[in-house]
Amino acid sequence: MDKLKNIFREGRALLGVSLSEEQEERMLLFVHLLNEANRSLNLTGFKTEEDILVEGVLDSLTAFTLEDLVFVGKRLLDVGTGGGIPGIPLKIACPSLKLTLIEATAKKCHFLETTLRALGLEGVDVLCERAETLAHHSSLREQFDLATARALGGLRETLELTVPFLRCGGLAFYYKGREAKKEAEEAQRALEVLRCSIRTLREVAIPFRSRKTTLILVEKEAPTPLPYPRRPGIPKKRPL
């Protein structure tokens, strides 16, 4: 645990993220709980606690390098959260966040609920349903300040599954890899249809790894047309 703590402290310092000792302990406990549950539930592709810490948690915290993103007191939605990344690390780092996690798989939702209790995190809702369905609920549609997704799919699909939840002027941020610029170019029609635009596309080094993550920041400019998102499965099969 001391090794992980040292890695985490150095890594978050490189990203300019300040945390209390209690927040550090919560983050490391989350890493441990996710690693333990992953053996039977297949929650993430990360195989070790160090991989979860560096490529999951620290990668999540790269969002704090975007100057246009303000998390304090905001309402954040994490779509297709799986084992809780990036939503839970962001909530631990910014406790005033009002976080909603969407995950369609029941066993993953059960893990999220038990983990949130173990971490003592309040102000978090877990919704076990498809995003395509939930986005048409008036209590959720166009209600969030911020939305995010990680490893949900291509940018065109991800936009359709997240932007409808944002209020006008709200921001979505996505974690992408080497194909980010290509995905952004291919998503021009989706951006137009969903009434949003890319504000920032920035590469950020992941501490202790050679690869970089590319953050795409999208602003919602007008209400999402009512047909979107389309029926469950259609955004993936026929992306905009």
Q: What is the mean pLDDT of each run of 10 residues along the chain (240 residues)?
A: 90 95 97 93 88 96 95 98 97 98 96 97 97 98 98 94 98 96 97 98 93 96 97 95
Cα–Cα distance measured from residue 227 to residue 240, given in angstroms and rounded to the nearest whole number: 12
CA gyration radius, the chain: 17
Q: What share of the chain is helix, strand, coil (3-state, %, to 5)?
A: 45, 20, 35
CATH number belonging to domain 68-237: 3.40.50.150
Q: Three-class SS of residue 123?
A: coil
In DSSP terms, which residues pair with 175 in a beta bridge? 150, 215
Is 150 flagged in the annotation as binding? yes
CA distances from 139 to 112, 166, 225 (A): 22, 12, 17
**How high is the pLDDT of residue 190?**
98
Q: Residue ranges of the domains in the chain?
A: 68-237
**How high is the pLDDT of residue 2?**
86
Cα–Cα distance measured from residue 210 to residue 207, given in angstroms and rounded to the nearest whole number: 8
170 residue type, one letter: G
**How high is the pLDDT of residue 1?**
62
How is residue 157 written in tokens? 């699909």
**How high is the pLDDT of residue 46?**
87
Is 132 flagged in the annotation as binding? yes
Is 157 flagged in the annotation as binding? no
In DSSP terms, which residues pair with 197 in a beta bridge? 219
